[in-house]
Amino acid sequence: MITVALAKGALLKDSVARFAKAGLDFSSILDPKNRLLMVPSSCGRARALLVRNGDVPVYVAYGQAQLGIVGFDVLNEKQMPVANLMDLGFGGCRMSVAVKETSGYKSAVELPHHCRVASKFTGCARRFFDDIDLPVELVHLTGSVELGPLTGIAEAIVDLVATGQTLRENGLVEIEELFYSTARLIGHPLSLRLDDGLIQNVIETLQSQKYSSSET
């Protein structure tokens, strides 16, 4: 029995589609009426845990799920001991520094020393500003980070940007990209070592799709 951890939200539909091609059908999870958080595959050989984005690497790190699909943004933020097995290519977005359009800043190094930067991803932000050797005060917010510069709680934000619409609606502009994030297949290291072929088989099927699939 394989358990896979799937993230609620934007990555779910593509995640289910990928596993379906690898022979594990969790499509009942997409039914709007589904209230189950533990969903068996139609073949009975596997089950999916439907959890929040940030919890996918936790369930995989503790071995409660042998495989999981989660955005690179979360992996980078959480730094959990999981095997990063494959870039699945979908769910692309940028982790970016953004400021008020009227601020005049054109790049992150122009930000004033000891200014405040709001983010849900304070781990990623800390490593980025350490790398460019700019001392900033990070303000951890859990949502609506675009409010930061508008209220004055922060001069800049570090946040995920997909289409850029939220930034534009709030008069903000990207000035630097930390990294590009896509969905990743992750695995529990010990389960991979003890695997009798079942997990490897799923991974290889997902790997072969990667080069044959046209979806992104």
Q: Which is nearer to its own copies, 13 or 52 (CB)?
A: 52
Asked whether the beta carbons of 85 and 186 are under 8 A apart, the reply is yes
Q: Which residue has the tokens 């089950």?
A: 47
Q: Cα separation of 214 and 61, whole Å?
A: 31
CA proximity to 18, closest of 39, 31, 4, 32: 4
Amino acid code (one letter) for 79: Q
Q: Would you put residue 154 in left (φ > 0), alpha (ψ -120 to 50) or beta?
A: beta
Answer yes or no whether residue 144 interacts with its own copies by CB under 8 A: yes
Q: Which is nearer to its own copies, 63 or 89 (CB)?
A: 63
Answer yes or no whether residue 165 interacts with its own copies by CB under 8 A: no
The 34-73 contact track toward its own copies, x by CB under 8 A, reads ---xx----------xxxxxxx--xx--x-xx--------
Answer yes or no whether residue 151 interacts with its own copies by CB under 8 A: yes
Bridge partners, 177 (sequence order): 96
Asked whether the beta carbons of 116 and 153 are under 8 A apart, the reply is yes
Answer yes or no whether residue 163 interacts with its own copies by CB under 8 A: no
The 114-143 contact track toward its own copies, x by CB under 8 A, reads -------------------------xxxxx
Answer yes or no whether residue 109 interacts with its own copies by CB under 8 A: no
Q: Which is nearer to its own copies, 135 or 152 (CB)?
A: 152
Residue 10, SS3 per DSSP: coil
- Shortest CB 213 distance to its own copies, Å: 30
- Shortest CB 68 distance to its own copies, Å: 12
Answer yes or no whether residue 152 interacts with its own copies by CB under 8 A: yes
Sheet holding 156-161, edge to edge: 137-140, 116-119, 156-161, 93-100, 172-181
| CA 185 to each of CA 36, 85, 95, 128: distance values in angstroms, whole numbers, following the listed order | 23, 5, 19, 24
Q: Which is nearer to its own copies, 106 or 140 (CB)?
A: 140
Q: Which is nearer to its own copies, 75 or 86 (CB)?
A: 75
Of 18-37, binders to its own copies (CB under 8 A) are: 37
Contact residues: its own copies, CB under 8 A:
3, 8, 37-38, 49-55, 58-59, 62, 64-65, 139-144, 147, 150-153
